[in-house]
Amino acid sequence: MAASAEQDNRRGSLGRTQTHHVEIADGERPFRLDRGARLAPVEVAYETYGELDEGAGNCVVICHALTGDAHAAGHHGDPARRGWWDTLIGPGKPVDTDRYFVVASNLLGGCRGTTGPSSVDPATGAPYGLRFPMFTVRDLVEVQRALLERLGVRRPLAAIGGSLGGMQALQWAIDHPDELGAALIVCASSRLSAQNIGFSAVARHAIMNDPDFQGGDYYGTGRRPAHGLATARMMAHITYLSAESMRTKFDRRLREGRSPHSMEPSYEVETYLRHQGEVFLERFDPNSYLYLSRVMDYFEPFAEVDVAARLRGSPTRFLVVSFDSDWRFGTSHSRPIASELAAAGTNVRDVEVASRWGHDSFLLDVPEYHRIVAEHLTEALAARLS
């Protein structure tokens, strides 16, 4: 199950890793979604790093954000192209693979090996497209729990995630209050603002109104809503960066040889955003973007009337982290999460970390943030072993 112990020339980094696949539901045992629909088969793509201890008590679950996947650390053959959270996961890093058994999977509804809109519907023999059933953050958690059961883990030490990943860690702790030793909720929200819903609405509009969207049935036609998806990614990427980080990276620098009096891209920031949109097309499915962004819109766990009662007495140690330059899911989103958890009597620590990099800070090497994460996991492991 574990990734290769091979080390590359980057100290503290994993070497080559591999994505695995497992079926967690089939026609005889379909997966029942939160809203009642049944789905089968359900396949999950996942990676593991480190070794599971004898008591299966050292498992840390990595919950990815909107456009992430199972490949969180190490590389698949090219050491220069590493997993999306390689800054955090590896030997001696905050999620230390010498101490923890780390599991990262592609989410339900994704497009990187886990069943989603691009998967074939056995009832029709064609990809689901927009006929894929709607699902919730709760469903994302339950698919991961089913995967862990296959791996021999019933009580993970911790679940950690940023953005949509943090939402999953929160939902997991609410639905299964005796299961997690720790929940690390990083730059997340428990109730999207109208502004955030608006950003996602514009992104979905760009995709669905692309002439090549074809009602979501673009698979196999030789045409896909590439322009719409690239536009959605470009706009979203702006919200992941702070004004200071954009000023530091680009300011108003003109591209070499470009005139400032042209409708063609003249500024470095324009070229950068176009590049982000283009490379995104290589790895992501437009329908998955629609579904996963909508899941975030509807997430509102504390609206359920019995949440405080479910959490009361929970042994889970909560860490809620925000970054002072994050204007997408900043401290104004994290503080209400911490307040609700504190009101329920849980053990919760709320920390705002200084960083110039905005929402993307959770993916970067921010020393104070990494120190806090490492400390929280160490405390959770010590509590479980005591």
pTM: 0.95
Structure confidence at residue 324 as a pLDDT band (50, 70, 90)? very high
* 138 shares its domain with 64: yes
| Residues 90-107: tens digit of each pLDDT | 999 999 999 999 999 999
| Residues 222-231: tens digit of each pLDDT | 999 999 999 9
Q: Is the pLDDT of residue 378 over 70?
A: yes
Residue 11 included in any domain: no
* 135 shares its domain with 88: yes
Rounded distance between C-alpha atoms, residue 79 and residue 100, angstroms: 22
Rounded distance between C-alpha atoms, residue 362 and residue 350, angstroms: 15
**Of 294, 319, 346, which residue is a domain's last?**
294
Q: Is the dihedral of CA 89, 94, 97, 103 positive or negative?
A: negative
| Residues 121-133: tens digit of each pLDDT | 999 999 999 999 9
Q: Is the pLDDT of residue 74 over 50?
A: yes
Other Cβ atoms closer than 10 A to 87 = 20
pLDDT at residue 160 in the model: 98
Residue 87 included in any domain: yes
* 273 shares its domain with 324: no
The structural domain count of the chain equals 2
Task: Assess whether 326 carries a catalytic annotation.
Answer: yes
Residue 7 included in any domain: no
Q: Is the pLDDT of residue 6 over 50?
A: no
Quote the tokens at residue 171.
Answer: 């939902």
Q: Is the pLDDT of residue 148 over 60?
A: yes
* 230 shares its domain with 279: yes
Structure confidence at residue 375 as a pLDDT band (50, 70, 90)? very high
Residue 9 included in any domain: no
% pLDDT > 90, the chain: 92
pLDDT at residue 60 in the model: 98
Domain residue limits at 142:
20-193+300-385
Q: Is the pLDDT of residue 241 over 50?
A: yes
Average pLDDT over residues 315-331: 97
Residue 52 included in any domain: yes
Rounded distance between C-alpha atoms, residue 361 and residue 69, angstroms: 18
* 257 shares its domain with 218: yes
pLDDT at residue 34 in the model: 97
Q: Is the pLDDT of residue 147 over 90?
A: yes
Residue 236 included in any domain: yes
Q: Is the pLDDT of residue 339 over 70?
A: yes
* 141 shares its domain with 75: yes
* 50 shares its domain with 152: yes
Q: Is the pLDDT of residue 137 over 90?
A: yes
| Residues 9-44: tens digit of each pLDDT | 345 889 999 999 999 999 999 999 999 999 999 999
* 83 shares its domain with 221: no
Residue 71 included in any domain: yes
Task: Assess whether 189 carries a catalytic annotation.
Answer: no
| Residues 288-310: tens digit of each pLDDT | 999 999 999 999 999 999 999 99
Report the CATH number that the domain containing residue 284 is assigned in CATH: 1.10.1740.110
Q: Which of 75, 176, 359, 376 is catalytic?
A: 359
* 265 shares its domain with 153: no
Q: Is the pLDDT of residue 361 over 50?
A: yes
Average per-residue pLDDT for the chain: 95
Q: Which of 69, 139, 326, 350 is catalytic?
A: 326
Average pLDDT over residues 247-265: 82
Burial 177-215, CB ≥16 within 10 A → b, else e: bebbbbbbbbbbbbebeeebeebbeebbebbbebebbee
Q: Is the pLDDT of residue 3 over 50?
A: no
**Of 231, 259, 294, which residue is a domain's last?**
294
Report the CATH number that the domain containing residue 80 is assigned in CATH: 3.40.50.1820
Q: Which of 13, 163, 245, 361 is catalytic?
A: 163
* 36 shares its domain with 124: yes
Q: Residue 272: what are its φ and ψ, rounded to 5°? A: -60, -45
**Of 294, 316, 350, which residue is a domain's last?**
294
Structure confidence at residue 278 as a pLDDT band (50, 70, 90)? very high
Residue 5 included in any domain: no
Structure confidence at residue 386 as a pLDDT band (50, 70, 90)? confident
| Residues 149-207: tens digit of each pLDDT | 999 999 999 999 999 999 999 999 999 999 999 999 999 999 999 999 999 999 999 99
pLDDT at residue 357 in the model: 97
* 38 shares its domain with 60: yes
pLDDT at residue 11 in the model: 55
* 189 shares its domain with 201: no
